[in-house]
Amino acid sequence: MGGTRGPILGVNYYPQKYSWEDMWLRFNPDVIRMELEMAKDLGINTIRIFAHYYVFGGDNPNPYSSAFDKLDTFLWIAYSLGLRTIVTLFDLAPYSIFTNLEASKRHVDAFLTRFKNDGRILMWDLKNEPPFKDVKVDPVAASWLVEMYQYVK
């Protein structure tokens, strides 16, 4: 049980029939278990999931809401199969998060209140695909990433 040590062989995951935020809005533990078992049978040991910003409360999340309960269930399923989980925060969040550190910190705090030091989570991914300007990360987003990294650390 639980995540194994060694190299990461992972995939991004959401159920085949329920992508992005629908993973959480139409949450089906039986489907998730079946699909994660298939991933494990293929040699996958790490699953990266996306915590949709608005599904998880946006600027004012509640760490004891049903969305966080579903995340807890997902983590137990993955853990019971020996899979490690990477949780990606701020998925599909508006650009305004990069200029509202207080709201961003409230959002992170909800996850950390519930899951800080949770052994079922391999790592936190602060932001999927931060915005780019030309070939560089947008300077506002880059500053936010540094600030949030320090805050979470």
> What's the pLDDT at 3?
52
Mean pLDDT to the nearest integer, 135-150: 88
Per-residue pLDDT tens over the stretch 2-30:
555 678 889 999 999 988 889 999 999 99
Per-residue pLDDT tens over the stretch 90-129:
999 999 999 999 999 999 999 999 999 999 999 999 998 8
> What's the pLDDT at 96?
93
Q: Please return the burial class of 103, using the count of CB atoms within 10 Å of its CB with bins 0-12, 13-18 and 19+.
A: middle
> What's the pLDDT at 137?
75
Mean pLDDT to the nearest integer, 131-135: 74
> What's the pLDDT at 132?
75
Phi, psi of 135 (to 5 degrees): -110, 5
Per-residue pLDDT tens over the stretch 40-99:
999 999 999 999 999 999 999 999 999 999 999 999 999 999 999 999 999 999 999 999
Mean pLDDT to the nearest integer, 36-42: 97
d(CA 60, CA 48): 24
| Predicted confidence (pLDDT) at residue 138 exceeds the cutoff of 60 | yes
Q: Are 78 and 118 in contact (CB under 8 A)?
A: no
